[in-house]
Structure 1
Amino acid sequence: MAPRRQGATGEREAEDARGCCVPGECLRPREPVRIEDAVRVLCNNDTCAAGRYMHRECFEQWEGGVLAYLKSCGRARSWSERQRHQNLWTKKGYDLAFKACGCRCGRGHLKKDLDWAPPGAAIRAEEEKKRRRRTRSGRTPAAAPDGRSRAFSLSSSGSCSPPSAPSEPSTSPTHAPPHAVTPAKKISKPEIISDRIRYNKKPVKCEFDFRSEGSVLRAGAGANGIFSRRLDFSTFNLLPKHKVNSYQIKIEDEGNHGNDDTRLFILSTLAGQHKPRVSCALCKETLHVFDRYPLVDGTFFLSPRQHDSGAVEVKVEGRTQYLTCVCMGCLERCDPDRTIRCRFCGQKWDGSSLVLGTMYSYDIFMATPCCSERLKCNNCYKALLIPHQRLNYSDYSHPVTCPHCRVQDTHFVKPLTYCFTKRVFPLYQQWP
């Protein structure tokens, strides 16, 4: 009887492993899950029929989204990346992150089974140890010092950790990318734009995948799979050819293993609000948020003022900010209806030089005031700066104290309806 029970259990396990149980869309939907290369998870819903196994790639993508959520939770904010990885599936971390671990069944939460090992794992581990011993025993005595010498020269000439972000430049935002953007590095083929952009600086032709037209593929890498997976870059064909490059479009993470703070901040913030889509602050067009750079077909920015009802309130360094988005069409002024101009001097606002797909840490609308009316106190309406005095573009988003009425406020950040109009004439006319 015992052998038959064991065989029945094996049959149930094999049946359960045929389909990947990752929340969201499977990365390998046509391939059954092989037990030997799977990750087992447990659902706390006793009647769950969604399955217990994931493709290893699917699990790693999904786990990345859970880690992004954990980073925004309570005491985990002060943990290092390594601590979050170590604590995630223990009680210490899982009690904070379980809300991001919803199961497909809709009634439970998933957790990695730490006590389970794929069949044959112990044998493979022992074989790997033997192989390493044979490799070490086959080295010549002279080889080790040479290896140490090379390792020392590498470690002394550079570091494996990513470079720290450069200090914020003092030039206009229309002439410089945000602090999150650094010179491009080589990326893997799945995360294209083509290498031709980076090395030859030739515009890439984005081939459209007709199979994906009008559809959005869900992926597990963005906080429990609520964000879209970008299937092609055809939307960027809207740009002039000389702008389709990795300097104008944010393509890559800055951190190790894709753990970019800006990307994780945006995804965890929107995941906490269950917002896989955002709207443009100007034209109200709905935009999908993607799980990898470029995060949106436009750009995000932080403002101390809520320009749009869809902007998400966040706390940054103790200050209330609003995560806001502007679409690529409005930044590029693709048609006259998308052009806005100052109500007081008539100058057009231009966002065409801003980097797409990332986030600016200041209000991009108020960073380049065009006339003296934009430089007045929000309380007493007197000038805060002397004529022709200008600040660093990010400083316009910071609180200042009016020298006349002594009121402290973000005086340079004003409502869009106060500063801009979509009509050419007459000026001094209210939005839109």
Structure 2
Amino acid sequence: MCPLINVAISQSNVTDSDEYRKRSNTLLSNRSDKRWPKRDMGPQFELRCCIDPEILRINVDRQYYFEDETVRVNGSVFHKRNDYNNLLSIIPRAKFNGIHIKMEDDCPQGGDDVRLCLLKSLGAHNLRSIPCVQCKDELKVYDKYPLIDGVFYISPVSQFGPKTEISLDGRRFYLQQLCARCLWSDWSCKNCGKDEWFDGRSFVLGTLYYYDIVSAGRCCPSVCQTCRQPLGVRDQLATQLANGNYATINEQMTCQACGSSKFHLVRDIKTIHVARGPSFCE
């Protein structure tokens, strides 16, 4: 074959190859300055503290931290966990693992941000223990995971206890908590008697949930928190709740009967019956 023809064919192959790589967006794949696109990690939640500077100043003035025994021993106002006897008296030993309990080694990325946010928010109010919203028992706050012998969760409504606020995606919520003994008890609705809407044993202990776990399960039709008349929730909202879109709980709704605008989808803790069982023995 003529050398000129060989050169023409070679140049044609290069041109075709470049054209293909240009169309497939790989023309610069062999260059060292290629910029790889960032991987889409899905929706990210931004958790921030909501600390009132005036409250912080008052609490600091009231406390003599360097004379505080807890601070002197632990280096902070929070408790240092020495054992897990309380948790072991509530849950079976077979459930005592990183699947059912948030441990310190389980948070290589991001988890420590949650811990620091919670401890900063509670420390600003000098809260070393916090009450369970259901049984009102005090829960010690520890400086490492698991942070409490129970779970934290956020809600647009404060059911019980100090009104500690945190911010999620720029919106303020109240920090609430349930103890492990209540979670591992049998729950039922006082209105209809149903009990399959809540399974406290499925929650990971010692960490934070980004939604109102008490209001997520539904049994009775939603009613107005003021006049107790049926709320008439739109089918779309009911479907969203059934599919696990718990953000609808955080939306204010207006009652068509009395005109009251509240967080009507937040379940009142007083409408729940919890049959607390005896301590677990193995």
Q: Give yes or no for TM over 0.5.
A: yes
CA distance in 2, matches of 1:346, 1:246: 33
Structure 2 equivalent of residue 158 of structure 1 = none
CA distance in 1, matches of 2:250, 2:149: 27
The structure showing larger relative contact order (alpha-carbon pairs under 8 Å, at least 6 residues apart) is 2
Which of residues 62, 74, 77 is equivalent to 1:226? 77
Question: Is the contact made by 1:72 and 1:268 (CA closer than 8 Å) also made in structure 2?
Answer: no
Structure 2 equivalent of residue 346 of structure 1 = 193
AA matched with 1:359? L
Structure 2 equivalent of residue 261 of structure 1 = 113
Q: Does 1:250 align with 2:102?
A: yes
How many residues were matched structurally? 211
Question: Is the contact made by 1:294 and 1:357 (CA closer than 8 Å) also made in structure 2?
Answer: yes
Question: Is the contact made by 1:218 and 1:226 (CA closer than 8 Å) also made in structure 2?
Answer: no
**What are the superposed Cα offsets for residues 99-149 of structure 1, whole Å, 9 maximum, x if unpaired?**
59966258xxxxxxxxxxxxxxxxxxxxxxxxxxxxxxxxxxxxxxxxxxx
Q: Does 1:303 align with 2:173?
A: no
Structure 1 residues 74 and 382, CA gap change in structure 2 (3 angstroms) = closer
CA distance in 1, matches of 2:240, 2:51: 39
Question: Is the contact made by 2:49 and 2:118 (CA closer than 8 Å) also made in structure 1?
Answer: no
Structure 2 equivalent of residue 137 of structure 1 = none
AA matched with 2:93? K
Structure 1 equivalent of residue 204 of structure 2 = 355
Structure 2 equivalent of residue 381 of structure 1 = 230
CA distance in 2, matches of 1:327, 1:422: 12
CA distance in 2, matches of 1:393, 1:277: 31
Structure 1 residues 399 and 236, CA gap change in structure 2 (3 angstroms) = same
Q: Specify the SS of the correspondent of 2:176.
A: strand
CA distance in 1, matches of 2:133, 2:153: 11
Q: Specify the SS of the correspondent of 1:381.
A: coil
Q: Does 1:235 align with 2:86?
A: yes
CA distance in 2, matches of 1:274, 1:414: 29
Q: Does 1:371 align with 2:181?
A: no
Structure 2 equivalent of residue 104 of structure 1 = 66
Question: Is the contact made by 2:131 and 2:139 (CA closer than 8 Å) also made in structure 1?
Answer: yes
Shift of residue 74, structure 1, vs aligned partner: 8.7
**What are the superposed Cα offsets for residues 143-173 of structure 1, whole Å, 9 maximum, x if unpaired?**
xxxxxxxxxxxxxxxxxxxxxxxxxxxxxxx
**What are the superposed Cα offsets for residues 286-314 of structure 1, whole Å, 9 maximum, x if unpaired?**
11100010000011111111111345244
Identity of aligned residues (%): 29
RMSD of aligned Cα (Å): 3.6
Q: Does 1:398 align with 2:245?
A: no
Shift of residue 282, structure 1, vs aligned partner: 1.3
Structure 1 residues 341 and 404, CA gap change in structure 2 (3 angstroms) = same
Question: Is the contact made by 2:50 and 2:167 (CA closer than 8 Å) also made in structure 1?
Answer: no
Shift of residue 411, structure 1, vs aligned partner: 1.8
Shift of residue 250, structure 1, vs aligned partner: 0.4
Q: How does 1:23-172 map to 2 (within 5 A)?
A: 104=66
Question: Is the contact made by 1:377 and 1:384 (CA closer than 8 Å) also made in structure 2?
Answer: no
Structure 1, unmatched stretches of 5+, are 1-69, 76-95, 107-214, 334-338, 424-432
CA distance in 1, matches of 2:64, 2:144: 21
AA matched with 1:219? N
Shift of residue 326, structure 1, vs aligned partner: 0.8
CA distance in 2, matches of 1:259, 1:377: 37
Q: Specify the SS of the correspondent of 1:345.
A: coil
AA matched with 1:104? F
Question: Is the contact made by 1:297 and 1:328 (CA closer than 8 Å) also made in structure 2?
Answer: yes
AA matched with 2:213? I
Q: How does 1:178-217 map to 2 (within 5 A)?
A: none
CA distance in 1, matches of 2:264, 2:199: 22
CA distance in 2, matches of 1:103, 1:326: 29
Question: Is the contact made by 1:217 and 1:230 (CA closer than 8 Å) also made in structure 2?
Answer: no
Shift of residue 247, structure 1, vs aligned partner: 1.1
Structure 1 equivalent of residue 267 of structure 2 = 414
Question: Is the contact made by 1:255 and 1:261 (CA closer than 8 Å) also made in structure 2?
Answer: no
**What are the superposed Cα offsets for residues 54-105 of structure 1, whole Å, 9 maximum, x if unpaired?**
xxxxxxxxxxxxxxxx976699xxxxxxxxxxxxxxxxxxxx9xx5996625
Q: Specify the SS of the correspondent of 1:260.
A: helix
**What are the superposed Cα offsets for residues 216-260 of structure 1, whole Å, 9 maximum, x if unpaired?**
99522xxxx11011112232323123311101100136355x871
Could you state the TM-score of these two structures normalised by the residue count of structure 2? 0.63
CA distance in 1, matches of 2:111, 2:214: 29
AA matched with 1:254? C
